[in-house]
C-alpha cells in the first residue's frame, strides 16, 4: 500500500510503501493515536523494514492508497 505524507513547508511529499498486509485503518489508528498521545514523532515501518519518522506537528496531510490501486504510466494515462 502506498502512502503519501505532505509536510508543512516541505517541497516534496514523503512516499512510503507499506507491506501489503497493512490496512488503511491501521495507518489511521497509528497516526491518530500518536497525535492524541502528544507524541512528537510518528514512526512508520515500510515494506523493507526501514523506519521513517515524521514530526507529528508538521504533517499537512496523509494520502492513503488502496491495495488494488493500479498506477498508469504514459501519455494515455488518465
pLDDT score at 2: 87
Structural domains for the chain: 2-64 (2.30.30)
Residues 6+ apart with CB under 8 A from 6: 13, 14, 59, 60, 61, 62, 63
- With left for phi above 0 and alpha for psi between -120 and 50, is residue 54 left, alpha or beta? beta
| Mean pLDDT of each 10-residue bin along the chain, 78 residues long | 90 90 90 92 93 92 74 63
> pTM for the complete prediction?
0.74
pLDDT score at 72: 63
Amino acid at each position: 500500500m502506498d502512502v503519501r505524507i505532505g509536510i508543512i513547508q516541505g517541497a516534496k511529499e514523503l512516499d512510503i510503501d507499506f507491506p501489503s498486509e497493512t490496512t488503511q485503518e491501521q495507518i489511521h489508528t497509528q497516526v491518530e493515536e500518536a497525535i492524541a498521545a502528544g507524541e512528537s514523532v510518528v514512526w512508520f515501518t515500510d515494506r523493507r523494514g526501514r523506519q521513517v519518522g515524521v514530526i507529528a506537528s508538521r504533517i499537512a496531510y496523509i494520502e492513503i492508497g488502496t491495495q488494488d490501486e493500479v498506477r498508469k504510466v504514459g501519455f494515455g494515462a488518465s
